[in-house]
Amino acid sequence: MHTNALIREKSPYLLQHAHNPVDWQPWGEEAFRQARDEDKPIFLSVGYSTCHWCHVMERESFESQEIAELLNRWFVPIKVDREERPDVDRIYMTFVQASTGSGGWPMSVFLTPGLKPFFGGTYFPPSGFRQVLERVAEAWRRDCEGILASSRHVMQQLAEAAEVAASAAPPDISALDAGFHAFRREFDPRHGGFGGAPKFPRPAVYGFLLGYWERTGNAEAREIVLATLNAMARGGIHDHLGGGFHRYAVDERWRVPHFEKMLYDQAQLAVAYLEGYQVSGDEHYAAVGRDILDYVLRDMTDAEGGFYSAEDADSEGREGAFYLWSREEIERALGPSDAERFCRHYGVEQPGNVRNDPRGEFEGLNILFETGARAGLEALRNRLLEVRSGRVRPHRDDKILTAWNGLMLSAFAKGAQVLDDGRYLEAARRAAEFLLSRLYNREEATLLRRYRDGEAAIPGFLDDYAFFVQGLLDLYETAFDTRYLEVAVKLTETQLARFEDRERGGFYTTLAGDSSLAPRMKDDYDGAEPSGNSIAILNLLRLEGITGRSSYRETAESALRAFSAFLAVAPTAAPRMLASLASSVARSRQIVLAGAKDAEDTRLLLRVLRRRFSPNQVVLLVDGEAARRFLSAYSPAIAAMQPVNGAATAYVCEGYTCRLRASNPQELIRLLG
């Protein structure tokens, strides 16, 4: 069997290609030097291990001896895992999108030996790919100087596009209304979600809209979110047996999913459903949030507490094979009577229920989606889940990414708060301790991005810092261990030193000093994942409320000014940043509880706070002298906050002015309004 240089890597995606006949190399100086020494262009292929079309291109092209011979003869082939190296992916995806009008994975880009792109695309079928290789190689032989000149011009344009022009004024608050009205226009009132097929979950939008409802009282914003959450929960995008959500739906009704499961989706959707429960009181949303968290605990959690990255769409060589059912399989598993009940509820049909099947993969098979209330069917679902567990599972990408674990840490902290479930608090604690022991350098207060198979590697990017800080702050407000707050502050200081653009505002996505990755870019798009800038701004505003450090607010406002023009022209591209704008103009509320952490009177006050959706609120706990000393170092007024008459007491403060105090739930409800 052929073996190439990827065999020495840890990335599951790179290891999937380690036995291709293509002489792949990882991104790095050795491959760059070969390209320079041999005066060959680079063929850069970027993807990830659970990417369906990456698998297809591998089978069709990268396992082909004929195509491998062309790649090896004319190019230096380099493979990159986009989840390990989002910095590489971002630069060249920007080029592909600008030059072709679209993007996606696998991403295929041809570079000069100086790493400048000159031609690119995404998936190529084998016949077309062969022609592309021949033509690019011929063009390089004929007009190398012309290609070099063109690529220099391309990089200059990318550098200009990456520049974020600072504004002297903060974003106009009207961007919040503009964002709401744009999402309102795009909302699909019949099927939920926004726009037509394909439909992607986008939790950043739901969070912004719920915040808009909380701020303005506009009930339509809330109803749009609840309708979308309901539609997704009923649809085939939701795994009704095992829990969790698939990546997206290919149809407008959320029924036919692309079956891969990503950790970042589970994390953000769990929070979205828990917030849906907070704003509605409807237990259905709590149940969906719980089933996401339980899926991650069961199938996506490492023995040491970290969370794995993804599960593939494919198994046994077919997309969705693990999740699809024939009517006969269900009848054998449940018996005729129970099967009839189950099939009626989940839309199962004898000839199969998949109408949107362009490649003919699902003939005679069924995707489960709900047609009514699911009450009373739990035992039947569990029986089918047991049957399904005997099937060949999809590939699981077991690398542990700091950024995505930060998002999941927030979700488990939120689950522990809202659902009052100690299992979720324990999961959040274990994840935090894993990251702190494996990916955090205590002496330097720095992060690494990826852990797998005993190795931690790759200096952390902005989103690793921002998402993990957010998770630590959420965990502090759940467990009230000041150690998590202390680390969050240290990591924030490192983030400011390493990523802040102090001249123009905002944060670069990558560290300075890597000449192979110019220009430095600032992530501003809240898509499948929120942007690092959006979360960094929210963290800074939150930390100002906790620590009283005005410099944090000043940095946040500087970053908002940097993106002012962007928010004015494209508010729907950055809903999480809109939420940070809303937070910057809201009166922040600090609630200081004085009482024993595990005492019933403290728990009753916390229950009042955790039932409410309050995006601009921070909660601190003074449960002893150590916590009092730590917190009063930031806010001296906390030193005097004591339980009243021995009972746990909540001090409600707004704008650094503490109003009345409350020693029972009814008083606290009245104070909060």
- One domain for residues 146 and 11: yes
Helix runs in 360-421, H state only: 378-388, 402-419
Q: Which of these ranges, 161-165, 288-292, 625-629, has the smallest mean pLDDT?
A: 161-165
pLDDT at 386: 97
**What whole-number distance in Å separates Cα of residue 549 and Cα of residue 503?**
21
Residues whose CB is less than 8 angstroms from the CB of residue 328 and which lie 6 or more positions away in sequence, other chains included: none
Determine, yes or no, domain membership for 255: yes
Determine, yes or no, domain membership for 225: yes
- One domain for residues 206 and 342: yes
- One domain for residues 208 and 337: yes
Determine, yes or no, domain membership for 535: no
Average pLDDT, the chain: 95
Residues 569-602 have pLDDT tens digits of 999 999 999 999 999 999 889 999 999 999 999 9
Domain span at residue 333 reads 197-397
- One domain for residues 148 and 256: no
Residues 130-159 have pLDDT tens digits of 999 999 999 999 999 999 999 888 888 887
Total domains present in the chain = 3
Determine, yes or no, domain membership for 39: yes
pLDDT at 514: 76
Please check the confidence at residue 615 and state whether its pLDDT lies above 90. yes
pLDDT at 367: 97
Please check the confidence at residue 414 and state whether its pLDDT lies above 80. yes
Please check the confidence at residue 432 and state whether its pLDDT lies above 70. yes
Determine, yes or no, domain membership for 574: no
Evaluate whether 274 touches 11 at the Cβ level (below 8 Å). Answer: no
- One domain for residues 223 and 348: yes
SS3 call for 449: strand
pLDDT at 258: 94
Residues 19-71 have pLDDT tens digits of 999 999 999 999 999 999 999 999 999 999 999 999 999 999 999 999 999 99
Please check the confidence at residue 300 and state whether its pLDDT lies above 70. yes
pLDDT at 658: 80
pLDDT at 164: 65
How far, in whole angstroms, is CA 369 from its chain's centroid?
25
Domain containing residue 71: CATH number: 3.40.30.10
- One domain for residues 157 and 268: no
Determine, yes or no, domain membership for 405: no
- One domain for residues 259 and 149: no
pLDDT at 166: 63
Q: How confident is the model at residue 374 (pLDDT cuts 50, 70, 90)?
A: confident
Which residues sit opposite 594 in a β-bridge?
622, 649
CA-based nearest residue to 261, from 308, 228, 304? 308
- Given 162, 189, 213, the domain boundary residue is 162
- One domain for residues 42 and 150: yes
pLDDT at 673: 82
- One domain for residues 136 and 238: no
Q: What is the mean pLDDT of residues 627-643?
A: 94
**What whole-number distance in Å separates Cα of residue 427 and Cα of residue 413?**
8
- Given 115, 142, 162, the domain boundary residue is 162
- Given 340, 367, 397, the domain boundary residue is 397
pLDDT at 1: 77
Please check the confidence at residue 269 and state whether its pLDDT lies above 80. yes
pLDDT at 361: 83
Determine, yes or no, domain membership for 175: no
Determine, yes or no, domain membership for 568: no
Residues 547-574 have pLDDT tens digits of 999 999 999 999 999 999 999 999 999 9
- One domain for residues 141 and 227: no
Which residues sit opposite 591 in a β-bridge?
619, 652
Helix runs in 395-481, H state only: 402-419, 422-438, 462-479
- One domain for residues 246 and 342: yes
**What whole-number distance in Å separates Cα of residue 658 and Cα of residue 665?**
18
- One domain for residues 157 and 201: no
Q: How confident is the model at residue 519 (pLDDT cuts 50, 70, 90)?
A: confident
